[in-house]
Amino acid sequence: MNTEVVRTTCAICLQDCGMLVHLKDGEIVKIEGDPDAPLNMGALCVKALASLEIRNHPDRVRHPLIRKGKRGEGKWQEVSWDEALGRIADEMNKAKEKYGPESVCWLRGAAKGIQDNVFTRLANVFGSPNITSMASVCYFPHVNAMRFTFGSFLMEDHTNSALVMVWGMDPASTSAPNYEPLKRAVARGAKLMVIDPFETMLAKKADRWIRPRPATDMALALGMAHVIINEGLYDKAFVENWTVGFDELRTHVQDYTPQRVSEICWVPAETIVDAARFYAANRPAAILVGNANENIVLSLQTQRAIYILEGLCGNVGAPGGKVQWTNPPIVSRAAPEFTLQDHVSREARQRRLGAEHVAPFIYYAVPQSIVKALITGKPYMPHVAYIQGGNLLCTWTNSRETLAAFKKLDFIAAADLFLTPTVEMCDVVLPVAHFLEHDALRQSGDLPFLAQIQQKVVDPGDCKSDTQIYIELSRKLGLGDYFWKDEYTFMEEMLRPAGITLDEFRKVHVLECVRQYRHYERGGFATPSGKLELYSNALKEAGSDPLPVYREPPETMYSEPELAGEYPLILTTRKPAVFRHANLRQIKSLRARRPDPILNINPGTAKDLGIDNGDWVYIENKRGRITHKAEYTESLHPRVVVGDHGWWYPEKRVDEELHGFAESCINAITSNSPPYSPEMGGATLRGTFCKVYKVEK
């Protein structure tokens, strides 16, 4: 009997948790967390533990497919890679020649890693400016908020914190690399404060739980800043020596009294005052900010307001606060010389769809604008789309209009593990290798800056990695000179700055980086002023607010009071711990933990509406209705309901409205119309009004 343990990295999401894969006679028999992994410290989520079940699922796409029959009929023919890639290249080049390179849209789903940047590289050398992803509502808002506040990307050092504040995030469900050190910090005596409309497991254990109305977090942060400044609780030495704009900020926050903020956020004024004092008194403090505040119109500015709090209290650069790290010694995957972004001219880049909806420092196309262009033909008509691992019918706003738009494309190709509702609308489908089936370099941009090895453990069969697909597609497109011989050559080149080969990296496994405490003392902040910018002239010059200004979100009882009686509740969403966005609902062990989409509702509210615990209910707004299963949640605000993100039903047939893609998906009732985030172009995904009523059988 031959046994082996392979040390690798999970790639289901971007948390990059270390994993040990046990083999017996070449077959995987066990998967567990790697206790020596610097990020997850041996912990693995239920998704990672189901990796083998995902990899071996009978419904996986295992060969290239070409559609036979009408889109959405579920009729496919297996073909060779040569035929599939050739067809994609032919359709792309035909559209490019006839309509221009902008007629080909390059669409990414949830981030995967370095392969995302290889995807961008191919789109750039092809010449299309229409490259998009979920960036407008995920990651980019907080990255850019840091850029205009701190000048660089900083990360929490919560292992050394006196207080950890978890704001709009549930790391116990979504981030083992944040949850594990947080647990250790609390165990050694750190205080815990949670700001979330929903009482998460961490909220139940917290010293303070603050429950704001969804999408009003900016007002709460400014209200806390009001208290901290007016009561002199800020770090006077840090503010004086290392910030600019304090006087402007002090004047600005006078409008955000605890009483006014209380009316906005539905949080008692005394609770706001207490939260501000608690945060200011327990230093150093780290704030873990989640994705929730990126799913709203005030995305970048809400993140800025929270980072301003950290600056006021001197929690930037200090051990236990937000600190800068060195970068791993590998080629920077976001560098222009890697993505080859200059192959698209400035004039061509300005023709991207949605350019008018984003700030001058943003260069992606906006998903909603692609949908609108397909529906109206203005300003021009896209004709071809390539989709990397994205179930966009369930993750883009206004699912039914997104479907109507995709039907107008001449040709769609996708690379994915499964035939999702979106993939069912494609003309060619490419089978992507599971992360246990190929080597890769892993580098997450949202965790301590390190690089890790993902190792091939089992044979991929006829599947290929995304990177290998792009290398081969580049040749079919006549663009092979811009790429590498194969993915192994690519990884060797990425590792060259580290001075090691891929085989040597397998043994090293991790290239760790180091914290740079108080980095600004050795050269200042990387901002125009060289200081932490509470007031941002750079944002003002870009046409944005230099200080965060709270504006009421669209579709609430305050922004549209005439509809308040018809839609009395505020809807927000959560990501169930057992799924990643719209993925993995066909995995039996995971689905057993969350068999149905859940709508959390206050029992008093439910009883007034004649809804019993466990009843199926409609959630309705101006765009239609969807179904969820009601679950009583005593701690929820009576006027707030919380639904599940990303639902569809793999067990339903493709002819049952594409596996019931719009039956329970929250995004079937979200809007893809303005207002959008003025900087990021993001649509509103949380915090809008609705009504809820029982499904009558």
Closest CA to 198 of 596, 599, 629: 599
Predicted pLDDT at 118: 98
Residues 472, 538: Cα–Cα separation, whole Å: 42
| Helix 466-476 with 114-126: angle, nearest 10 deg | 10
- What values do phi and psi take at 193, rounded to 5? -125, 135
Q: Using alpha carbons, list the distances in angstroms from residue 689 to 186, 473, 552, 641.
A: 36, 45, 12, 10
Query: Kindly report the CA angle at 412 between 411 and 418, in degrees rounded to 5?
Result: 150
CATH code, residues 150-326+518-541: 3.40.228.10
pLDDT band for 142, please (50, 70, 90 cuts).
very high
Side by side, which strands form the sheet with 104-108? 76-78, 65-67, 428-431, 411-416, 384-388, 104-108, 131-132
Instruction: Assess whether the region 65-139+334-433+460-480 and the region 561-694 belong to the same CATH fold.
Output: no
Residue range 552-558: mean pLDDT, rounded: 98
Residues 16-36 pLDDT 10s: 999 999 999 999 999 999 999
Buried-exposed string 318-357: b where 16+ CB fall within 10 A, e elsewhere: bebbbbbbeebebbebeeeebbbbebbeeeebebbbbbeb
Task: Return the half-sphere exposure (C-beta side, CA atoms, 13 A cut-off) of residue 239.
Answer: 20
Predicted pLDDT at 46: 97
Closest CA to 49 of 169, 176, 180: 176
Closest CA to 346 of 331, 334, 336, 332: 336
8 A C-beta contact, residue 5 and residue 142: no
Q: Is the pLDDT of residue 444 over 90?
A: no
Q: For tokens 């500015």, name the residue.
A: 301
3-state secondary structure 585-603: CCCHHHHCCCCCCEEEECH
Q: Is the pLDDT of residue 593 over 90?
A: yes
Predicted pLDDT at 612: 98
8 A C-beta contact, residue 552 and residue 558: yes
Domain range 561-694, its CATH number among 3.30.428.10, 1.20.120.450, 2.60.40.420, 2.40.40.20: 2.40.40.20
Closest CA to 108 of 297, 477, 386: 386
Other residues' Cβ atoms within 10 Å of the Cβ of residue 61: 22
Q: For tokens 């996708």, name the residue.
A: 414
Residues 339-378 pLDDT 10s: 999 999 999 999 999 999 999 999 999 999 999 999 999 9
Q: Is the pLDDT of residue 449 over 80?
A: no
Q: What six digits make up the tokens of 687?
A: 């915090």
Predicted pLDDT at 673: 96
3-state DSSP assignment of residue 663: coil
Q: What percentage of residues in the chain have a pLDDT greater than 90?
A: 96
Residue range 85-101: mean pLDDT, rounded: 98
Predicted pLDDT at 454: 97
Q: Is the pLDDT of residue 125 over 90?
A: yes
Which residue(s) pair with 691 in the sheet?
620
Residues 453-509 pLDDT 10s: 999 999 999 999 999 999 999 999 999 999 999 999 999 999 999 999 999 999 999
pLDDT band for 238, please (50, 70, 90 cuts).
very high
pLDDT band for 582, please (50, 70, 90 cuts).
very high
- The DSSP output letter for 396 is S
Residues 524-542 pLDDT 10s: 999 999 999 999 999 999 9
Q: What six digits make up the tokens of 424?
A: 């069912």
Domain range 65-139+334-433+460-480, its CATH number among 3.30.310.160, 3.40.50.740, 3.30.70.980, 3.40.50.150: 3.40.50.740
- The DSSP output letter for 275 is H
Residues 584, 588: Cα–Cα separation, whole Å: 9
Q: What percentage of residues in the chain have a pLDDT greater than 70?
A: 99
Residues 260-289 pLDDT 10s: 999 999 999 999 999 999 999 999 999 999
Q: Is the whole-model pTM more than 0.95?
A: yes
Burial class (CB in 10 A: 0-12, 13-18, 19+), 500: middle
Residues 670-679 pLDDT 10s: 999 999 999 9
Residues 3-12 pLDDT 10s: 999 999 999 9
Residue range 211-230: mean pLDDT, rounded: 98
pLDDT band for 59, please (50, 70, 90 cuts).
very high
The alpha carbon torsion through 495, 500, 503, 504 (nearest 10 deg) reads -130
Rg, Å, the chain Cα set = 25
Which residue(s) pair with 598 in the sheet?
629
Residues 394-433 pLDDT 10s: 999 999 999 999 999 999 999 999 999 999 999 999 999 9
Length, in residues, of the chain: 697
Residue range 168-175: mean pLDDT, rounded: 93
Collect all residues with Cβ–Cβ distance below 8 Å to 502 and sequence separation of at least 6: 439, 488, 491, 492, 495
Q: Is the pLDDT of residue 448 over 70?
A: no
Residues 299, 684: Cα–Cα separation, whole Å: 9
Predicted pLDDT at 42: 95
| Helix 258-265 with 269-281: angle, nearest 10 deg | 110
Q: Domain spans of the chain?
A: 65-139+334-433+460-480, 150-326+518-541, 561-694
Q: What six digits make up the tokens of 17?
A: 């948790």
* Mean pLDDT of the chain, nearest integer: 97
